[in-house]
Structure 1
Amino acid sequence: METVNVAELVERLGSDEDAVRKMAVFKLQGNIGDPSFADIFIAEGGLVRLRYLTLHASGNTLAYSLTSFSRLLDVDKGWECVDQELVERIVELIVTHPLVNILRGAMSILVSIVSHPYTGNRTSQINNFGFRALKPAIAIYPQFLEMLVSRLSSADHALCANALQLINSLMRDSITHDPEAEWPKFIQKLQDLGVIRAVYVLMQDSALQDLAHPLLEFQSLTKVLLRKWRDIPVNQEKPEHRRALKGIYLASNPEKNPDEATENGDDTRRSRRHHPEKWRRLGFETESPAGEFYEVGFLGMMDLADYVRSHGDEFQNMLLEHSTKPSRQRCPIARASLAVTSILYEHFEVEKSDMDDTKTYLISESRAGFDKLFQPLLLHWTRLHVAGLQAFFRLWKATAAEEEDLDKLIELVRILIESVVGGAARIKDVQDVEEELADFEYHRLRGLQMELLELTYEDAWGQHLRQVREELHHEALQFVKEQRIRSLLQGSWFALDSHSRSEPGPVQKSTATYQYAQLSHNRRYLHFGQFDLMGDRPPELDTLPEKISNVSVNPDHSSTATLKTAPRQPTTKITIHGYAPSTATGHGKGHSHARSGSRTTQKEVVLLTLRPSSHSIASEWLDGLLMLLNQQPITAETSKLIDLVSNYGLKIRLLNVRFDDATFAGEAPQVPARDGLDEDYYYDVFGGA
């Protein structure tokens, strides 16, 4: 870097020629970020001339001056020149000037001024810093905030970043250092100007690298706001809290509710004021609603108030509909609203500050890291609360729930939000999320609940749960094996085609059209015979002329594709291969072991062909024969049945076994006393179904 003569540079800043001043301040912006250079520059009297240019220059000279002044403040120098005149000039530029390069520098200066109480030494009067330093200028230019929010839609990402940084600084200072507690009004003003929607669009943009830091800071500030609102206890002594509760009550339209009426019309007004279920009718547990906001504070009351204000008709219709039902069947609207607020609060981990992890993600993670870190749906808190609350109402109605089922419904809504909101991609629009919450089927949700329950127990018990799965799978296999073999013991009719009747081999030729097969009671012989007609009753076992002893030959089917053929198609068949018996023995149809002759001289033939009339019968007989020989089943239908039985067994055990105390945080429940109970027993969690 070339050596700069600071004294000469300062002299040129005061030149009468604009071109000389422009070149001097252009060179200054590249060097002023060096603290040593800045010290020499100030010692040479350059600060006064830089301030003058900032106040009076135009064009590129002004742009370079603003950038230089901003970089000087970044190294915590030059604060003695920050006064109301300078602040007013910067605010004026932001409101009136169209050039991007001027706006960037102006916003950067205001960010430093607003943030100075937390990042620099207080070398001047405190009123010159923080949000309070801007208030006189904003009073002169009331369109300042509107113009600032509009810059978030600029095509220039650097300008967007500068504008959002300034908004973040104003929000943080207002929330943290507003002695008059006017920050809610300021935040509401920004929201009314569309800051939420603008930042939401930026979060879903593809150019995250340029805006990552200010966007993440805005997300963090959103959590700060939510925490601050939640930490404010609801107090009916405060006028705004009292007004909010009154608004919730009046939105219920008590005049039209049967519960509010009395037999004496003259006492209607008095009874309405003192009705014993004034608040319980709205879904509160008691007649002291303020205390029920303990877990979610003013945030919970805001959410409930926003719902009844924006969905008043739905609110009133539900109250009217439920007023005719017994109290235990009425949907507790207020408690449901508080529960959804709490669920969202936990889902977005509002208590956790994500700014500590931001630097790590920005340094080490790719776009995938950004997708994990950004939570654009957090910005639409109110809409998610309404969608979650309406999902609760839908589930309450679909399950015909009662008051004692409240906790179960809350848990279902928690799983629903974790699945839909937690599973939403960064670029997924909030409207699509709302629709998915509304359309999520109850049975699908219950299935998801069981999967999560299994995963939770897997984490808690690990190897023990895997052992249980193996045991249950073995039990299911034995259960299905017995079911399949009993189908063989019961016997079945099978069709015969012309090819089967005329094919050569040990099977006796016949003109019959049907075949009946049945396993013997001792499970050692498969008996069968051919018939012209199917009788009303199955034939007796001892009337079947043919049999295969030991049933130890290998059952098979012609091909996998054949077995998958649609029911009632004649191509579905099972063939049993074996060795024809020696004519010397003459005992039975076929055996697994010949009684005379060498196996090497025998030829394997088809002993029996079965043509099941349906896919289910084919599965029962094929897998029944295999499992009878202690071989594994091969059809999809049998495998599905084994999994079904095994999974049901696991779910029954999970639903009837509670976690041990080590799994849950908190104190263990007190063991109730019972007369005559001693300690001479044990409880095997996994011992039996």
Structure 2
Amino acid sequence: MDQADIPALLARLASDEDASRKMAVFKLQNSINDPAFADVFISSGGLVVLRRLIMTAAGNTLAYSLQSLTRLLEVDMGWDIFEGPTASDLVERVVELIVTNPLVNILRGAMSILVALVSHSQSAVIGGAASRTPGTFGFRALKPAVAVYPQFFELVIAQLQSADHALCANALMLINALIRDAVSNEGTMGGKTNGATQGDEWSKFIKRLQDLGLIKAVYKLMQSSALQDLAHPLLEFQSLTKILLRKWREVEVDLERPEHRRALKGLHLASAPDRAHVNGHSPPIEQHETPAKKGSRRHNPEKWRRLGFETESPAQEFDITGFLGMMDITDYVRKHEDGFQKMLMEQAGKPASQRCPVARASFAVTMVLYEHFEVDKADLEDIKGYQVMESKDHDRIFRPLLLQWSRLHTAALHAFFRVWKVTGAEHDDFEKVVELVRILVDQVVGEATRTKDVLEAEEEMQEFDVARLREQQMDLLEMSFEGTWGQHLYQVREELKQEALQFVKEQRIRCLLEGSWFTKPTPKRENNSGSKHRLFTPTPWRYAKLSHNRRYLHYADFEVQTAQEPTLDSLGEKIDLSTISSVVSNVSADDVKSTTSGATTKTTTTKITVYSFVNPINPTKGMDTKEHPILSLWPLSHSLASEWLDGLLLVLNQAPITAETNKLVNMVSEYGLKIRLLNVRMDPAFDGPVPGAGVIPSREGLDDDYFFEV
């Protein structure tokens, strides 16, 4: 629309005919976001006309009027409409529309205006507009109207469940603006400006929103299919959640503040301090002693330490977690009071070194979650999230489980108790248990998809096997050392592999030195009547044993397996190991008829064959020699086959070939590596040598008369 048409437009906007006003304001909403047009419109008194329409119109005329004001504010113009004696009436009108009007197009426009109004308090100071009337913008501009319509916040949060995604997004943007204004240094929820009151007010406001179901509503949106349409306000809410967590952590626990004092007192009372069996330190009253008078209080020397604090001054132990740590532990105790008391009873009967420090564990879990979600990087993540929004990698950007902070804290704390109990941890093992819980959170929460429900995450943390945590810990430790030490770790691994091979070689050869029984298939009789029967004595067993000097392999065949192992003297056959050319093995499936049932079954027979060069054909002329089998062994099991096959190869200084032996070598070398990794301390490795290290001592005054004591 041309700027010259503005006087005529204003005349139609002020017309008494609704159809004329509706058409005029419809055209206005499409042109007013042009700064040049808006400037002429405002200078021509258009704000007064637009305000009158918003205050009196209804239906589409009202919807177009609200949209026109929204677009005007988007180009950062028209803020004068919220100043002066009539500003509060306009704000109250917009709030009234949100509370009472059911039309979606009107609700969208009204919420957009309030988003701009609340957000402008933060941009005003940045833009140097500090001279504006205090309270004109931000939450304070809404406060009088909200007092008239106290159901305002409840209805705004209810719109998060709207089927209209645009309205839902506007409602969430309004909530985000209110939260950001509440926690900003400029925004004060009440009229007082002192630090304590301001801190109390924003915290109470956030709690009020949470009590109205804000977290649950946003959590569902973040997991829903409507994520694409709500991506930006949801990401901002996620960033604000981190800002709130960080702000709560920055609040120091001060017993001079009533709510902090009440929280600690509630924690103490929830522990059932009057129960002697919970305390575990109150001595029994002897018959000659007089019971304490009713109403008298005896000071418990471990009032707080029995709850898991390290000292009797609990306030100072919140230095790291701040008020966030107090919120987490008091929330856990409030929701699981019976479990809390039961835990204290179990710990009271144990020695002091074996008791699980509940409070200290809660603080540790708070910091594990705090570091896992990288709460201190909220602003940076917000920027990165907006930059990669187009990548559609929503599982990487959005973390719905962050909104379930309290439930995750409880689940991780229960996991801490379980790990402590299963591992038999003691006081000095506290940090080790914390590290296992950290790995657990990384595995369950860190690997969770966007749509994974918090209940599923809780169950997984409760059922996660501690042995798997140990494996994960070792893998992470090895990866850490791999990156830090590189070639040195590779050399250590190779050395350990050679040591493991020597260890397994000795074990396999010892099996040969002990000797073993083997089966020996007997030849079948000829059943033809015309043929003569062969006369022979069946010898179905064979015994083999390596000589003590490891130079000969002795063996003999027997009719039966004797109870006592045959001696070397009773083994009539022997093979010089130096004549063996190769040792091979095959696995074949033979059809064997059962003598009892006649059924045909498949049995797997492992055969080991020893070869030797026999009668070489003129080797001086370079012709190939011929191998002949000189011994066959049929082991009774796969394990025995592995021991003898690889044992014979190793005694001949050849490499083992069976999977069982190679698995044993790898297992021994991996255990050796893990033991070395667990014994390495990272800190001293970078401190350099101790003073005097590496200095060769002087031999002055010494002679050659010395010896080494082994």
Q: Which TM-score band (shorter chain)?
A: 0.7 to 0.9
Alpha carbons of 1:317 and 1:88: their partners in 2 closer, same or farther (altered >3 Å)? same
Matched, 1:408 2:432: yes
Shift of 1:360: 4.0
Q: Name which of structure 1's ranges 310-319 and 630-639 shifts more when overlaid on structure 2.
A: 630-639
Alpha carbons of 1:603 and 1:326: their partners in 2 closer, same or farther (altered >3 Å)? closer
Structure 1-normalised TM-score? 0.87
In the other structure, the counterpart of 1:679 is 693
In the other structure, the counterpart of 1:588 is none
What SS is found at the alignment partner of 1:30? helix
Q: Given that residues 496 and 611 in structure 1 are in contact (C-alpha distance below 8 angstroms), is that contact kept between their aligned partners in structure 2?
A: yes
Alignment of 1:350-429 (within 5 A): 350-353=375-378, 355-364=379-388, 369-429=393-453
Matched, 1:61 2:61: yes
In the other structure, the counterpart of 2:176 is 168
Cα distance in 1 for partners of 2:472, 2:518 equals: 42
Alignment of 1:461-472 (within 5 A): 461-472=485-496
1:147 is aligned, of 142, 155, 164, to 155
Cα distance in 1 for partners of 2:639, 2:602 equals: 13
Cα distance in 2 for partners of 1:38, 1:501 equals: 114
What SS is found at the alignment partner of 2:375? coil
1:295 is aligned, of 314, 320, 325, to 320
Q: Given that residues 573 and 609 in structure 1 are in contact (C-alpha distance below 8 angstroms), is that contact kept between their aligned partners in structure 2?
A: no
Residues 347-377 of structure 1: CA deviation (Å, up to 9, x unaligned): 1111112x43444444445566321121211
Alpha carbons of 1:29 and 1:633: their partners in 2 closer, same or farther (altered >3 Å)? farther
In the other structure, the counterpart of 1:128 is 136
Alpha carbons of 1:662 and 1:114: their partners in 2 closer, same or farther (altered >3 Å)? farther
2:272 is aligned, of 240, 246, 253, to 253
In the other structure, the counterpart of 1:266 is 292
Alignment of 1:88-487 (within 5 A): 88-120=92-124, 122=129, 124-176=132-184, 177-178=187-188, 179=193, 180-181=197-198, 182-258=201-277, 259=279, 261=282, 263=285, 264-266=290-292, 269-272=295-298, 274-353=299-378, 355-364=379-388, 369-487=393-511
Matched letter for residue 515 of structure 2: G
Count of equivalent residues: 650
Q: Name which of structure 1's ranges 363-372 and 399-408 shifts more when overlaid on structure 2.
A: 363-372
What SS is found at the alignment partner of 1:208? helix
Residues 180-207 of structure 1: CA deviation (Å, up to 9, x unaligned): 4211111111111111011111111233
- Structure 2's unaligned 5+ residue stretches are 527-535, 591-600, 697-710
| Aligned-CA RMSD value | 3.0
Cα distance in 2 for partners of 1:581, 1:254 equals: 90
In the other structure, the counterpart of 1:506 is none
Alpha carbons of 1:210 and 1:425: their partners in 2 closer, same or farther (altered >3 Å)? same
Shift of 1:603: 5.8
Cα distance in 2 for partners of 1:463, 1:501 equals: 65
Cα distance in 1 for partners of 2:414, 2:336 equals: 10
Alignment of 1:482-497 (within 5 A): 482-497=506-521
In the other structure, the counterpart of 2:531 is none
Matched letter for residue 528 of structure 1: Y
Alpha carbons of 1:47 and 1:153: their partners in 2 closer, same or farther (altered >3 Å)? same
Shift of 1:240: 1.1
Shift of 1:571: 2.5
Cα distance in 1 for partners of 2:525, 2:255 equals: 92
Matched letter for residue 538 of structure 1: E
What SS is found at the alignment partner of 2:263? helix
Q: Given that residues 118 and 137 in structure 2 are in contact (C-alpha distance below 8 angstroms), is that contact kept between their aligned partners in structure 1?
A: yes
Alignment of 1:30-49 (within 5 A): 30-49=30-49
Alpha carbons of 1:662 and 1:134: their partners in 2 closer, same or farther (altered >3 Å)? farther
Matched, 1:574 2:582: no
Cα distance in 2 for partners of 1:265, 1:45 equals: 86
Shift of 1:530: 2.0
Matched letter for residue 299 of structure 1: L
What SS is found at the alignment partner of 2:542? strand
Q: Given that residues 588 and 606 in structure 2 are in contact (C-alpha distance below 8 angstroms), is that contact kept between their aligned partners in structure 1?
A: no
Residues 243-272 of structure 1: CA deviation (Å, up to 9, x unaligned): 111111111111123447564422575443
Q: Given that residues 554 and 574 in structure 2 are in contact (C-alpha distance below 8 angstroms), is that contact kept between their aligned partners in structure 1?
A: yes
Shift of 1:551: 5.8
Cα distance in 2 for partners of 1:527, 1:27 equals: 108
Cα distance in 2 for partners of 1:669, 1:57 equals: 81
Matched, 1:636 2:659: yes
Structure 2-normalised TM-score? 0.85
What SS is found at the alignment partner of 1:554? strand
Matched, 1:557 2:582: no
Cα distance in 1 for partners of 2:138, 2:224 equals: 31
Shift of 1:477: 2.1
Residues 420-452 of structure 1: CA deviation (Å, up to 9, x unaligned): 222222211111111111112222222222222
Shift of 1:538: 3.2
- Structure 1's unaligned 5+ residue stretches are 503-508, 563-567, 583-592, 672-676, 683-689
Q: Given that residues 282 and 334 in structure 1 are in contact (C-alpha distance below 8 angstroms), is that contact kept between their aligned partners in structure 2?
A: yes
In the other structure, the counterpart of 2:17 is 17
What SS is found at the alignment partner of 1:553? strand
In the other structure, the counterpart of 1:539 is 566
What SS is found at the alignment partner of 2:575? strand
In the other structure, the counterpart of 2:533 is none
In the other structure, the counterpart of 2:702 is none
Cα distance in 2 for partners of 1:635, 1:139 equals: 82
Shift of 1:27: 2.4
Q: Name which of structure 1's ranges 597-606 and 140-149 shifts more when overlaid on structure 2.
A: 597-606
Matched letter for residue 158 of structure 2: S
Matched, 1:87 2:91: yes
Alpha carbons of 1:549 and 1:629: their partners in 2 closer, same or farther (altered >3 Å)? closer
Q: Given that residues 587 and 607 in structure 2 are in contact (C-alpha distance below 8 angstroms), is that contact kept between their aligned partners in structure 1?
A: no
Residues 266-302 of structure 1: CA deviation (Å, up to 9, x unaligned): 2575443x22111112111111111111111111111
Matched letter for residue 455 of structure 2: Q
Q: Given that residues 611 and 631 in structure 2 are in contact (C-alpha distance below 8 angstroms), is that contact kept between their aligned partners in structure 1?
A: no
Residues 116-171 of structure 1: CA deviation (Å, up to 9, x unaligned): 02224547423121011111111111111111111111122221111111001111
Q: Given that residues 524 and 551 in structure 1 are in contact (C-alpha distance below 8 angstroms), is that contact kept between their aligned partners in structure 2?
A: no
Q: Given that residues 257 and 320 in structure 1 are in contact (C-alpha distance below 8 angstroms), is that contact kept between their aligned partners in structure 2?
A: no
What SS is found at the alignment partner of 2:584? strand
Shift of 1:559: 4.4
Q: Given that residues 589 and 602 in structure 2 are in contact (C-alpha distance below 8 angstroms), is that contact kept between their aligned partners in structure 1?
A: no
In the other structure, the counterpart of 1:530 is 557
Shift of 1:398: 1.9
Cα distance in 1 for partners of 2:495, 2:40 equals: 81
Residues 494-518 of structure 1: CA deviation (Å, up to 9, x unaligned): 111235999xxxxxx9731011223
Percent of paired sites with the same residue = 56
